[in-house]
Structure 1
Amino acid sequence: MNILTRASRVAIATTKSVRSARFYASEAPATSDKLTLTFVLPHKSLYNAINVQQVNLAATSGDMGILANHVPTIEQLNPGIIEVIESAEVTKKFFVSGGFATIHPDSSLNINAVEASPLEDFSLERVQSGLAEAQRIVAGNGSDVEKAAAKVEMDVYEALQNALSK
Structure 2
Amino acid sequence: MKKIALDIVTPNGSVYSEHEAELVVLQTESGEMGVMAGHIPTVAPLKIGAVRVTRSNTDKDYVAVTEGFAEIRPEKITVLVQAAEKADAIDIERAKASLMRAEERLKEDKLEHVDFHRAERALHRALNRIEVAKYR
Normalising by structure 1, report the TM-score.
0.67
Q: Percent identity?
A: 23
* Unaligned segments of structure 1, at least 5 residues: 1-31
2:101 maps to which of 133, 138, 151: 133
1:69 maps to which of 27, 32, 38: 38
Q: Distance in 1 between matches of 2:78 and 2:101?
A: 34
Aligned residues: 132
Q: Higher helix share goes to which structure?
A: 1
Q: Higher strand share goes to which structure?
A: 2
Q: Distance in 2 between matches of 1:163 and 1:39?
A: 16
* Unaligned segments of structure 2, at least 5 residues: none
1:108 maps to which of 51, 58, 76: 76
User: 1:37–1:123: structure 2 CA closer, same or farther, 3 Å change rule?
Assistant: closer
User: 1:47–1:125: structure 2 CA closer, same or farther, 3 Å change rule?
Assistant: closer
Kept after mapping to 1: 8 A contact 2:66/2:125: yes
Shift of 1:125: 4.4
Q: Distance in 2 between matches of 1:150 and 1:137?
A: 6
User: 1:162–1:89: structure 2 CA closer, same or farther, 3 Å change rule?
Assistant: closer
Deviations 1:120-146 (A, max 9, x none): 22244443332222111111133143x
Q: Distance in 1 between matches of 2:98 and 2:5?
A: 36
Tell me which structure has the larger Cα radius of gyration: 1
